[in-house]
Structure 1
């Protein structure tokens, strides 16, 4: 996006929303981006590590996965 395109968007926003509503609109957009960033960060922290050599499975997780396999229907 060039400077001309950005200027065109700013002028269109001023015409559509008016100078009094733009600060409020900016705050709402900023809060939305912050909430989105926090939510994606939370999802990234919840993911298990991909390298199995770095963090071995606890015994409880191994037993749980064995129980899941036992419940499968025979093929």
Structure 2
């Protein structure tokens, strides 16, 4: 996997600024941060959901 240095990050940010404009870049950053946060929350909640649930096993079937 290639290493990403500060020069590459600056180039990507300049290209994003040129493509989306100065008004949309902060909005895109917030959306990206929110998506990453939701992804991490989903991963952490799935790790706790791996435990077997006793409630479903005790329900009568009929």
Scaled by the length of structure 2, what TM-score is found? 0.72
Once residues 33 and 3 of structure 1 are traced to their aligned partners in structure 2, the CA distance between those partners, rounded to angstroms, is 21
Which residue of structure 2 lines up, in the alignment, with residue 17 of structure 1? 20
Scaled by the length of structure 1, what TM-score is found? 0.61
Q: Which runs of 5 or more residues in structure 1 are unaligned?
A: 49-57, 62-75
Larger Rg: 1
How many angstroms does 1:46 deviate by? 1.1
Q: Which runs of 5 or more residues in structure 2 are unaligned?
A: 58-62
Q: Between Structure 1 and Structure 2, how many residues are aligned?
A: 50
Which portions of structure 1, spanning 4 or more consecutive aligned residues, are displaced by more than 3 angstroms? none
In the TM superposition, 1:1-75 aligns within 5 A as: 1-48=4-51
Bigger relative contact order (CA 8 A; separation at least 6):
2
